[in-house]
Structure 1
Amino acid sequence: MLIEDTVMSRGEHPSLVDASGLASYGRERTFAEFAVTSTFVDGGRGFDLHGHEEDQLAWMASGSVEVSVGTDRWHLRRDHAAWIPTGVLHEMRFTEPGELVSAYIDQRHRPSPTGWSRARVLSLDPLGGALLRYLAAEGRSEVRRQESFALLSKLVAEAPVSREVVALPQDPRARAIAVALLAAPDDDRDLEQWAAEVGVSAKTIARAFLSDTGCTFREWRVRARLHVAVGLLVQGEPVHAVALAVGYDSVSSFISAFRLRLGMTPAAYAGHHRRA
């Protein structure tokens, strides 16, 4: 079953589909002002183009997802959540198996009357993720649910819009290169070689990355490598192995790049998320 240009009603969410048409559904808890779902997903599946009658906060508790909203495409892990306003059509493709947790919130309870009608990616701290998981679980009293939702709303209102999320190019040739690099971040072919692979000039690909993602190809590749590295670190892989897996010959160079863009060393990041 494919879902195209569909607007879903409160408490309803689309079937999770892959090429074989198999569907999977998540646990759901519906309240007067919000609903929370938890869905375990396989890599390669996804939600086709659809929208909701309420605002959605979508967060990957584990694994990763590609979210497309209009011309924006983001590759997200557990550090980020996608805010998708009421009626905004979007797609999701799960690039790794994991758990998707979504809150569906009546738009009357947006963090602010203005500025929240546009889709955005928010940096979500560990407490926000813990609250989402708490609200998706069974056996919570109404008082605890309302208290947790109130705190979650405050955290969302204060969450910074992420500038470090990995955006994917709109241009199909540049996007094919981006997807390939996310799948194999240690592939060290340069821009000219990648452009030849898809049959266009290096200048065309360079322009596409800059205009569609705001980054040069070189900077985008660094961010993509670190993005993949985050997933490996959270899974418990050692720093030296992660450095090699994402294309760094020198562990010290990997640590420097990681600290420059994420504000801490890979080991500190992994320890922080294990405690969270």
Structure 2
Amino acid sequence: MTPTLTVLLCLGLCWCPWDQVQAGILPKPSIWADPSPMVTIGSPVTIWCKGSLQADVYNLYKERVSLPWMTRILPNPSNKNSFLIKSTSSQHAGLYQCAYHSIVNMLSERTDLLLLVVTGVGTAPSLSAQPSPVVASGGHVSLSCSLQNTSGIFHLLKEGGADPPRHMESRLHAGRWQAIFPVSPVSTSHAGTYRCYVSPSSYPHVWSQPSDPLHIEVTGSQPQDYTVGNLIQMGVAGLILLVLGVLLFQARKSPRRTHHAART
């Protein structure tokens, strides 16, 4: 059987014995989501896979399974391909990878994992700052995400920030499920707008509607207590004055002694 016919028969629809052998010969592809890997339920999203100019088949894998979730056979070789999801549902949330085939070099290795998060499923939690959303630089603040009747995993996200979301299991406190995210010491980089989400523990990539935005303002440096330092400085100054007084007293007595010795 020729290599071309073998590729056309496999195309990810069956397990091919040369998959393991040939994987890694081609350049490793990359994967990303447009417009974002966080998608509101019902909205479209496109998953892009970029490979090699010799690629003529692209496979999209979901949740690390061996068989492709979607396959695209290109009429002409191309270094990238798109997989469109017209209306995102909770079933689309999860981890994705892609790989590509080449008639000459067979199968590439898979990309790094892409996490697709679907939001807008369930009631929005509330978000608050303790003791205050206005905090001095160097101080501390705690962001509390809570919900009345729903437990699960809370997710804290800073809008426009480069840092990844923070995640924490909820705990029951005063009749509400909550997660407290401490921020300490606070710096100017912590200023900005935050939102939080909640997801079931069994479906951690399906998030609720977002909380109302919470803006954290960072002011100047936190006032410091200089009492101990001032006491030390005053003590040193007093000791220096005492030494100077003793030296001055001795200096005034020395000429008298000299004069008295001369008269004698």
| TM-score, scaled relative to structure 1 | 0.23
Structure having the higher Rg:
2
| TM-score, scaled relative to structure 2 | 0.24
Question: Whose relative contact order is higher, 1 or 2, with alpha carbons under 8 Å and at least 6 apart?
Answer: 2
